[in-house]
Structure 1
Amino acid sequence: CALTLHNYNTAVHLYVGSVLNACNLPQARHDIVVDIYERLPVPFGLVRFGVAPDHPEVKNVINTFTQTAHSERFYFHGNVNVGMDISVEELKEAYHAVVLSYGAEGNRSLAVSGEDLIGVFSARDFVGWYNGHPSNKELHPDLNCETVVILGQGNVALDIARVLLSPLDMLKKTDITQRALQTLAASRVRRVLMVGRRGPLQIAGTIKEVREMINLPGTKADLLPVDYDGIAEALNGRNAKEKVDRAHDKNIENGGWWTGSKQAMGIRFLRSPVKVLPGADGKRVAGIRLAVKKLEGSGEGAQAIPTGHTEDLECGMVICSIGYKSLPIDPAVPFDPRRAIVQNNLGRVQGTAGLYCSGWLKRGPTGVIATTMNDSFDTARIILNDLEAGTLDMSIHKPGAQDITALLKARGVREVSFSEWEKINSEEVRRGEALGKPREKLLDVEEMLAVAWS
């Protein structure tokens, strides 16, 4: 996204890559005008394509963004691929400041044999499939299996487990895609196991997400009591106790199972993948081999070390939720391949004045939406500080979107405005209402463009 500062004598143009930066800066200074560039014809990024469909309250930030987008000091430029349609250097020529916040769209590799077998998916692709991301519209996960193993125990892993096991009537009321609903309706999955390399105290999922999973209707807890030995003593009544005790107590009080349940959600601690096991045809996943670990040390600082033992789990699908990584967008932007972030100091990109970054691209793929929100505010404050300090030279004329739009037009790239996005939005809401849902997302970019430009 791009920001433009404007007064009647001087135009100061800033390119910014975060919805939340875009909302914050115009509120902070009344001479700021925002241009936001987005690769897809639709806005909202992670909020639209990453947040679980049964968490509509998390998507309320869309309302704030929409209010800002209706301001006369804001311009949305959808269908523009920065790094391909336009370069970062060209943006820097047109704007006084550029802020990149395009997130982490790469997947971390398991680095084990068998991860390319049919039935092995990245969490990013699987989430994109049920949330309607155009790049995942051709994904066809085969849920004709009883057990799914998810590698990872963070909130994304919990979201996926919940979607796989949620009653269909619950999901029908959300904005999950109709394609995903049809696949889930035919699903034979009855057991989801979430595997993590550390112990209960180190589980990455938040208390809220764990509680939702444990309380899922019709689902029993599949836990190993031995995993919780000594937990009460280690916690000493601290809040982290909730993460494991609710699950542990219900599991034990029902003799290890929740009675009357037809499906199970399991958590396996102190395990890490060694190999994805193929079936008889050598092409499709049939199981996974895990290294068994043990904790050394005490409390949350305990370290998981190998025991030398392994165990095999049968499953028909493996979903890798072991983290994301940012990718370089342009050779002009200094990038740290080891940490997979843009090289920066507090959001100021190193070695290039007027270039900033925000979000996972700035600090790595950690935290929830609130974390990223606060981070974007920090970057916005850095920009404002640099404006006040004169680090950004406001005396130099920069044409902003005027030049970028001309370059894009010459290259045959047609932008999507916010009012044109609202046509897409109206069509999605209309289709959703016909199905009793908040919306039914368009999955194809060409169809989005046809609606936007109709």
Structure 2
Amino acid sequence: MRHIAIVGSGPAGYYTAEAAVKKWGEDALIDVYDKLPVPFGLIRTGVAPDHQSIKAVSRRYEKTAIGDTVRFAGNVTVGEDITVEELTSLYDAVVLATGAPRDRQLDIDGAGSRNVIGSAAFVGWYNGHPEFAQLDPDLSGKHAVVVGMGNVALDVARILSKSQHEFAGSDIVAHALEALRESNIETISILGRRGPHQIMMTPKELGELLHLDRASPHVDNADLPPLEDDAFLEPGVRKSVTLLRDFAAIPENIHGEKPIAIEFDFFANPKAIVSEGGKVAGVEVERTKVEAGRAVGTGETYSVPADLVVTCIGYRTSPLKGVPFDERAGCFANDEGRILPGLYCVGWAKRGPSGTIGTNRPDGYSVIDIVDQDIGGGSRKRGREGFDELAQTRGLEIVTFRDWQKIEEAEIAAARKGAPREKFVDIDSMIAARGA
């Protein structure tokens, strides 16, 4: 019998569990740990609430989670309730699938001003993550700045600009929906250090901006490279740049019909946050040029007004005591998923915040192949039985997958009209709902 612990119940964690089941069948017991009482990681708290089709992948994970071979053990914080060292003493293999839940910091003067918010916190706020539900961003001003040129920046800009009825069918939480209803934002500036040809936004997400009821995307023609240069781009990037050209061609009278402008500001490197009374009032920006794919400052500076700044510049894995960490990459130090004997990593915890949800599937299968090479038929370690004894002595309140199903039932029952659920946004309420 093989005893496997997976820390993290997001896509990387459940794809790894799926791979383990296919590799060993009933010759393994797999425990999936999560610090929250609810599973699925960024599917629940990271994917935009108006992208329900993406969230549907969780149904695949349910097939893995239901049964005796794989057990969800929620409400267990590895590093506090139990150490990594203790887990490796109990299990033949421990796979860290903790993702990258921390924001990469914007390291400029004034970044600590009020209403300068990282995307992990802001996205967690409108998705109901318990750590960020009380964030309460100030949306009373007219100008928002979003720093970054990836899909997360697009998500933030889109959520800030949508009308109430456009959230029909989404699972945005009630406190965010109410705050957005009262929002006074009129301009959303998206700042990117490089140009359109280096954009990381994908065509599907960019295209959504053309269909917003009250917002219109703006691109300055002067920022666009010669049309013939597009021929050298990868097909996906070329489609995105074509959409940017479409945005630049929107007539001014069409822009005037919509009260919110989403302005793409390319070749713009934030240099400082300007604050008044400790609260953000603007962003000082240096104009750049692209040389050999890198943004190089020109010395020309200008100011962008900002009552809210959301930084979408990447994520980092949270370090764990005793686990080697690669500070530069922002993930665990590893060799193809191996960290230390008996300790592995997968997904963003292994490679940093790159790829799509689907990228985690081959990653999970690959790490299980490596684990299989390393542990063979398993050992005499106690695994689940040993953890349960330890949990009892420490008074840990474990939430199982069946408990989660009761929590989900309660969220569905509480949903506003047209919404799939109303999420609980604090851990006590989640735990209480399992007994309802």
TM range (shorter): over 0.9
Structure 1 residue identity aligned to 2:172? I
| Whole-angstrom CA distance in 1 between matches of 2:215 and 2:228 | 25
Query: Offset at 1:260?
Result: 1.7
Label 1:211 to 1:393 Cα distance change in 2 as closer, same or farther (>3 A): same
Q: Residue 41 in 1 paired to residue 29 in 2?
A: no
- Distance of 1:59 and 1:74 partners within structure 2: 21
Using the alignment, how far apart are the partners of 1:172 and 1:185 within structure 2? Answer: 13
Cα deviations by residue, 1:323-346 (Å, 9 ceiling, x for unpaired)? 111121122x22222222212111
Aligned to 1:263: 260
TM-score between the two structures when normalised by the length of structure 2:
0.94
2-side partners of 1:259 and 1:380: how far apart?
Answer: 55
Measure the CA separation in 2 of the matches of 1:440 and 1:238: 40
* Matched letter for residue 353 of structure 1: P
Q: CA deviation at 1:75?
A: 1.1
Q: Is contact 1:41–1:449 with CA below 8 Å preserved after alignment? A: yes
User: CA offset at residue 302 of structure 1?
Assistant: 3.2
Deviation at 1:57, TM superposition (A): 0.9
Provide the rounded CA distance (Å) in 2 between the counterparts of 1:253 and 1:415: 54
CA distance in 2, matches of 1:395, 1:189: 58
Match of 1:28 among 19, 23, 27: 23
Partner of 1:344: 334
- Mapped pair 1:274 → 2:268: no
Q: Which residue of 1 aligns with 2:419?
A: 437
TM-score (norm 1): 0.91
CA contact (8 A) 2:290 2:296 kept: yes
Query: Which of 364, 367, 373 is 2:355 aligned to?
Result: 367
Q: Aligned to 1:440, what secondary structure does the other structure show?
A: coil
Q: Distance in 2 between matches of 1:203 and 1:41?
A: 37
Deviation at 1:153, TM superposition (A): 1.1
Inter-partner Cα distance in structure 2 for 1:76 and 1:236: 47
Structure 1 237/363 Cα, relative in aligned 2: closer, same or farther at 3 Å? Answer: closer
Cα pair 1:223 1:256 within 8 Å, conserved: no
Residue 396 to residue 376, structure 1, CA distance change in 2 (3 Å): closer
Distance change in 2, residues 1:362/1:404 (3 Å): same
Q: Give the letter aligned to residue 306 of structure 1.
A: G
Could you tell me whether the CA contact under 8 Å between 1:172 and 1:181 is conserved in 2?
no
Deviation at 1:114, TM superposition (A): 1.0
Calculate the aligned-residue CA RMSD, in Å: 1.7
| Distance apart, 1:76 and its partner CA | 1.1
Code of the residue aligned with 1:376 in structure 2: it is G
Identity of aligned residues (%): 35
SS of the equivalent of 2:278 reads coil
Equivalent residue in structure 2 for 1:328, among 315, 319, 331: 319
For 1:15 and 1:165, the matched residues in 2 are separated by: 42
* Superposed CA offset, 1:306-364 (max 9, x none): 11111101121000111111121122x22222222212111111xx2221100111011
- What is the rounded CA distance, in whole Å, between the counterparts of 2:267 and 2:417 in structure 1? 43
Residue 255 of structure 1: how far off its partner (Å) = 4.5
Are residues 1:75 and 2:71 paired?
A: yes
Secondary structure of 2:57's partner? helix
1:302 corresponds to: 293
SS class of match (1:344) = coil
- State the alpha-carbon separation in 2 of the partners of residues 256 and 225 from structure 1: 17
Report how far residue 148 of structure 1 moved.
0.5
Q: Which amino acid aligns with 1:348?
A: R
Q: Secondary structure at the match of 2:423?
A: coil
Aligned residue runs from structure 1 range 282-431, under 5 A: 282-296=277-291, 301-331=292-322, 333-349=323-339, 352-384=340-372, 386=373, 391-394=374-377, 396-431=379-414
Instruction: Could you tell me which runs of 5 or more consecutive residues in structure 1 were left unpaired when the two chains were aligned.
Output: 1-10
Kept after mapping to 2: 8 A contact 1:222/1:256: no
Aligned to 1:7: none
Letter paired with 1:308 = G
Q: 1:159 aligns with which of 134, 155, 158?
A: 155
Deviation at 1:393, TM superposition (A): 5.0
The answer to whether the 8 A contact 2:16-2:368 is kept is yes
The corresponding residue for 2:10 is none
**CA distance in 1: counterparts of 2:71 and 2:247, whole angstroms:** 52
What amino acid does structure 1 have at the position aligned with 2:302? E
